[in-house]
Amino acid sequence: MQNPPVTWILELTPEFTDPELLSKHVQHCVTLEYTGINFHDWPLVQGPAVAFGTFRCLTQMQRNPDLCNFIFDDYAQLACTSYYRHLYRYLGRLAFIVPMSALPHMALEPVFGNSVFIRPDSNKKTFEAEVVVLNDMEKYLRSHQQHHDELVILSEVLQIDREFRCFCRNGKVFAHSSYKEEMYAPAPPEVLTFAEEIATHTLQTLGINMLTVDVAVCGNALKLIEIGGVNSWGFYGCDIKRFVEVMELEARERFENYLK
């Protein structure tokens, strides 16, 4: 029996151009456009499907029982508060999770020196991650006052030589690329091995079978930057044909399991 066609639900928006690029490589797709507040007129899709778009779009789509099965990302478990307890040893640096409101009361210099890297806990990334010089902390907190009740990650500042993104399914890398460079390059074997070890451990502990693993090369050491999903994450210089092939394979398997 021939495999059923997979429909791609693609959000077209200037802020995230990867879905538009994907539309040129898939056989069947429907598109969504952002109206300014919410998405309306969700498509009626029969058979297996894959959703791909911004975090904003897919978190709204997850509330739709007819479409949520087309999203492979488990956003709650992709927060640092969820996965750091299982993957801390792969970070290769000191890292703490605290409310931003605690920062004025912490003695950070003995731990981090004169600067610290701060990022939001959630992959929603309500504000940009950045290196903050401790002498400028008061200014930083004033500019982020609306986020004072949110959890943040404090970590050592890394000297990163290169970064790579590895898309993984069931503990195996299926697409990979360096980060934003003039010429994208594939990840070297040692990075793939490191990413697959992390992906396998994540599958065993959190049950997440589809994810991205972002790896930094810091001198002779490999360090985990973060893990993410596959439906809202840019694929840089990855092999798009391979990306589409594996995402559709996952979609078909999930659809078959849904029918059982």
- Residue where the block lists tokens 């801390």: 88
Average pLDDT over residues 153-158: 97
- Look at residue 225 and give its three-state secondary structure: strand
* pLDDT per position as a tens digit, 167-208: 999 999 999 999 876 689 999 999 999 999 999 999 999 999
Given pLDDT bands bounded at 50, 70 and 90, which one contains residue 37? low
Give the pLDDT band (50/70/90) at residue 91: very high
Give the Cα separation of 253 and 20 in Å (integer). Answer: 25
| Confidence category of residue 125, pLDDT binned at 50, 70, 90 | confident
Reference 192, options 170, 211, 176, 169; nearest CA is: 176
pTM: 0.94
Match 């070297």 to its residue by tokens: 188
**pLDDT confidence bin for 24, thresholds 50/70/90:** very high
Measured CA to CA in angstroms, residue 111 lies from 12, 118, 121, 141, 156 at distances of 44, 14, 20, 19, 8
Q: How confident is the model at residue 164 (pLDDT cuts 50, 70, 90)?
A: very high
The sign of the CA dihedral 196, 198, 203, 209 is negative
The closest of 27, 71, 58 to 258, measured between CA atoms, is: 71
Question: Average of pLDDT values for 75-97?
Answer: 96
Q: 53-83 pLDDT, tens per residue?
A: 999 899 889 989 989 999 999 888 999 999 9
Question: Strand 151-155 relative to strand 162-169: parallel, antiparallel, unpaired?
Answer: unpaired
- Does the pLDDT value for residue 218 go beyond 60? yes
pLDDT at residue 33 greater than cutoff 60: yes
- pLDDT of 249 over the 80 cut: yes
* Cβ count near 62 (within 10 Å): 18
Residue 39 has pLDDT above 80, yes or no: no
Q: Work out the burial of residue 145: count CB atoms within 10 Å of its CB; fewer than 13 is exposed, 13-18 middle, 19 or more buried.
A: exposed
Query: Stretch 160-165: mean pLDDT, rounded?
Result: 96
Sequence-separated (6 or more) residues with CB below 8 Å from residue 120: 126, 127, 129, 147, 150, 151, 152, 153
What mean pLDDT is reported for the chain? 93
Read off the pLDDT of each residue in 109-125 and give the average, rounded to a whole number. Answer: 94
pLDDT band, very low/low/confident/very high, at 22 (cuts 50, 70, 90): very high
**pLDDT bracket for residue 36 (50, 70, 90):** low
